[in-house]
Amino acid sequence: MKVLKRNGSEVVFDITKIIAAITKANDAVDEDARMTPLQIKRIAEAVELSCIRMSRAPEVEEIQDLVESQIMAHGAYEVAKKYITYRYTRALVRRSNTTDERILSLIECCNEEAKQENANKNPTVNSVQRDYMAGEVSRDITNRILLPEDIVKAHEEGIIHFHDTDYYAQHMHNCDLVNLEDMLQNGTVISGTMIERPHSFSTACNIATQIIAQVASNQYGGQSISLTHLAPFVQVSREKIRKSLTAEMDDAGINLTKEQFDGIVEKRLREEINRGVQTIQYQVVTLLTTNGQAPFVTVFMYLGEAKNEQEKKDLAIIIEETLLQRYEGVKNEDGVFVTPAFPKLIYVLEEQNIHEDSPYYYLTKLAAKCTARRMVPDYISEKKMLELKVDKNGEGHCYTCMGCRSFLTPYVDENGNPKYYGRFNQGVVTINLVDVALSSGGNLEKFWSIFDERLELCHRALLCRHERLKGTTSDAAPILWQHGALARLKKGEVIDKLLYGGYSTISLGYAGLYECVKQMTGKSHTDPSATPFALQVMQHMNDACKKWKEMHNIDFSLYGTPLESTTYKFAKCLQKRFGVVPGINDKGYITNSYHIHVSEEVDAFTKLAFESQFQKLSPGGAISYVEVPDMQNNLEAVLQVMKFIYDNIMYAELNTKSDYCQECGWDGEIEIAEVDGKLIWKCPKCQNTDQSKMNVARRTCGYIGTQYWNQGRTQEIKERVLHL
C-alpha cells in the first residue's frame, strides 16, 4: 500500500512510523496517562486496516486524522492532546513556506498528483515542469492573498471547486471560439509580425496552426476553430493552380481538353489540401505551448456554415481529408500508427449528410469508420441544437463548443446579427452536489437550504473570477484582444465591455447529480420516481444563474463540469468529511455532471434519450457518451447510434479503446489491474506494466487523454460497462 505525502510524492506505507509518532506523544505525558505498547500497536493496526479499506493511496493528513480518532477511542485524551499539538506546530512551520517542497518534488518527478493531474501533460518534460512550478506559485498567492478565506477553505474541503487556481494570479480567461475567418480574411499580427490574407489553402492552414499555438499560450482552456473558415482558400488555390497550369501548357505547346485540364487542376488541388490538413494535424500534435502540452483545440466540421454551394463542396473535400488522415492516426516512437489526443474533431449531423440518399452521406459513413477506430469525431445534431439554442430573435443556431463541452449561449450583436466566433468563457466554479446531499442528512428542507448557501458561495467565487478579468488591457494578449482572435481592441484598451451583456459567459459547474439524487431518494436518477427530483435540482441551478445574470448583466450559465483529477479530489474529501457511505462516496470518484453512473446497466439508445433532457438544462456545456466495444467490423451499428443522436440529443460521442503495447505489439485493449492496492495498466499479452512503453488512449471528460490518470479516474474507467 502506498501513502501520498504532502508534496505529492508516493511512499510505501510504514506502520512503524505511526507507532513511533504515537509513542513520542505517549512519552510526553505523565506516566499514569500513558498507553501500553500493545495499545499503541493496536491503534496502528486499526489505522492500517482503515487505510486498506480506502482502496486507494491515503494522504498523510487522512492517516493522522485516523490516528487521532483511534487514540481518543482508547480514552487516552492526554496523549491525543499532545499528538494534536505536535500536528498543529508542524502545520504552522509548513504554512510559512507552502510551495518549496511541492516544487522540488515536481523537479524530481516524484509528485504523483502532478503526474496524474492532466492526462495530456507529461510531467517529466521541462516545459510541463516549468508550467507546474509557476502554477504552484500562482496557487499559493491565490490562496493566501487573492481569494477570500471562506472560498479557499470550501475549495480545499471539496465543497466547491474553483477551477484553474494555478492561473488565477494572471489576467487570463478560460476558453473561446477563435474568429479564424476574421484573422485569415483581414490579416493578423503574430509576435509583432504582420500576417496578410493567405494566397493559398496550404498557407492558410499553416497560419491557422500558428494562430492556434499563440491562442493556446495566452489562455488556460480549450479553443475551437471551424474548417469552414479555411474553405474559401480552396478556391483561391484552385484559381492559382489553373493559372499556373495554363502557363505550363502554353510554354510546352500542349493543348488539353477542358475535362483533362480540370482533372489535372483538381488532382493538384487535392494534393495541396492533403498537405494543408496534414500540417494542421501534425503541427497540433507536435506543438508544445507555454504550458507544456499540445494545444487543446477542437476542429468543427459543419456543412451548414458554407456561404454557397461551391464553398460547401470545397468544405466537404476538407472534411473528407481530415477524416481520412485522422483514421490513419499518427506514428508513435516505434513508427506504429496510434490515436492522437488532439485535435478533437466534431462532425455535425444534418439533413445534408444523415440519410442514405443525402448528398454528403459518404462523409457520415467515413466519420463512423473514423470513430470506430480513433474515437473521434464526436457528433452535434443540427436538428436538436436548432431547437435548444434559440436567440432573442427566435432563431435557432448550430455552432461548436469551446474545447470539449463548454457552450456559449445565443447572442445577437447591436446590429441584430448572431455572433459566436470571437466570444469566450471567463471561468468556472463547480458545486459538489454530493456534498450538499450528505450535509443535509437526507432532510429535504435542509437540502434546499444548504443548496442555496453553496450556490451563493459559488456566486461570490465566480464574481472573483470576473473581477480578476476586469481592467485587463488588450496588451496582455495582443493575439486575442487586438489582432482578431477575440477582438480588435486598441492598444491599452480594457476588455471590460466584452465581459458584460452576454458577449462572454461565466460558468456554474456541477458534479455528482447521480450520487446526490441517490442520497436524497435512495434511487438512481434514472428511476422514474427519482428523475423529477434530479430535474428539479438542475432547474434550481438554472434559476440561480438567471437571477445572477439579471443582477450583474453577466451571462452566468450552467455547465456540466468535465471532472478529471477533481473527481478523485471530491471523492476523497467526501470520505474525509462523512466517512464511507455505501453507494454514495465509497469509490475513488464521483459521477461527472448529470451522467448515468458508469456501472449502471443501460443500452446506448436508452442512455442517450434519458440524458438528452439534462443537456437542455445544461446550456453552458454538456456532452453525453456511450461506451462501446471494438466497432470496426460493425459500422452499421455505429451509424444507427449516429442517426439516433441526430433525432434525440444535441451532443454525444462514442467511446471505444485504442491501445498499443510497445513491448509485444499488442494492439487490443490494455487492461487495468490491481497490484498492492494500486490500479495499474497492464498488457494482457506480455504482462508489461511500464506505462512509458505503451500507448493508451481513453476518453475521460469529453476529450481523449493519453498520459494516464489518477487512481479515482482509473477506477472509473475500469468500472465502465458497455452500452452496445
User: And the C-alpha cell for 718?
Assistant: 475500469
By CB atoms closer than 10 A (0-12, 13-18, 19+), residue 406 is buried
Catalytic-residue membership of 402: yes
Instruction: Choose, from 398, 401, 402, 694, the residue flagged as catalytic.
Output: 402
Instruction: Choose, from 403, 512, 702, 705, the residue flagged as catalytic.
Output: 702
Q: By C-alpha distance, which of 135, 61, 70, 45 is closest to 572? A: 61
Q: Helix or strand or coil: residue 588?
A: coil
Instruction: Choose, from 132, 167, 411, 559, the residue flagged as catalytic.
Output: 559
Catalytic-residue membership of 425: yes
Instruction: Choose, from 205, 301, 404, 541, the residue flagged as catalytic.
Output: 404
Q: Alpha carbon of 566 to those of 161, 454, 572, 591: distances in Å? A: 8, 18, 10, 11
Instruction: Choose, from 54, 133, 172, 175, the residue flagged as catalytic.
Output: 175
CB 176 within 8 A of CB 423: yes
Concatenated DSSP letters for 441-466? TT-HHHHHHHHHHHHHHHHHHHHHHH
Instruction: Choose, from 406, 432, 524, 695, the residue flagged as catalytic.
Output: 406
Catalytic-residue membership of 302: no
Distance CA 693, CA 612 (A): 39
Instruction: Choose, from 117, 564, 627, 653, the residue flagged as catalytic.
Output: 564
CB neighbours of 285 closer than 8 A, spacing ≥ 6? 294, 330, 340, 342
Q: Helix or strand or coil: residue 625?
A: strand
Catalytic-residue membership of 702: yes
CB 202 within 8 A of CB 493: no
Instruction: Choose, from 138, 218, 226, 425, the residue flagged as catalytic.
Output: 425
Taking the C-alpha atoms of 143, 145, 150 and 156 in order, what is their torsion angle to the nearest 10 degrees?
A: 10
Instruction: Choose, from 174, 524, 557, 612, the residue flagged as catalytic.
Output: 174
Distance CA 17, CA 631 (A): 51
Catalytic-residue membership of 650: no
675 membership: H or E segment, kind and range: strand 671-675
Catalytic-residue membership of 564: yes
Q: Alpha carbon of 250 to those of 238, 261, 265, 267: distances in Å? A: 18, 12, 15, 19
Residue type (1 letter), 19: I
Catalytic-residue membership of 404: yes
- 2-26 CB burial, b ≥16 within 10 A, e <16: bbbbebbbbeebeeeebbebbbebb
Q: Which residues are catalytic?
A: 174-175, 402, 404, 406, 425, 559, 564, 702
